[in-house]
Amino acid sequence: MNIKLALVGQSGCGKSSILYRIQRDAFAEVIPTQSLELMQKKMQFNDSTVNLQLIDTVGQEQFNSISPQFYRNLNAIGITCDSVQSLEKANYWYAQSKQNNEAAKIYFILSKSDQQNIQEELLLNFAAEKQIPLLKMSALTGEGINIFVQTVLKDTVVFEDKEVAEPMKKIGGRVVCF
pLDDT in tens, 46-99: 988 999 999 887 654 545 555 677 788 899 999 999 988 888 899 999 999 999
Convert the pLDDT of each residue in 101-114 to its tens digit: 999 999 999 998 88
Domain enclosing residue 88, as ranges:
2-176
Q: Do residues 21 and 142 touch, judged by C-beta distance below 8 A?
A: yes
Q: What CATH code is carried by the domain that includes residue 90?
A: 3.40.50.300
Give the per-residue pLDDT at 164. Answer: 41
Output the CA–CA distances (angstroms, integers) from residue 8 to 36, 47, 50, 110, 130, in the order listed: 11, 30, 22, 12, 16
Tally the domains of the chain: 1
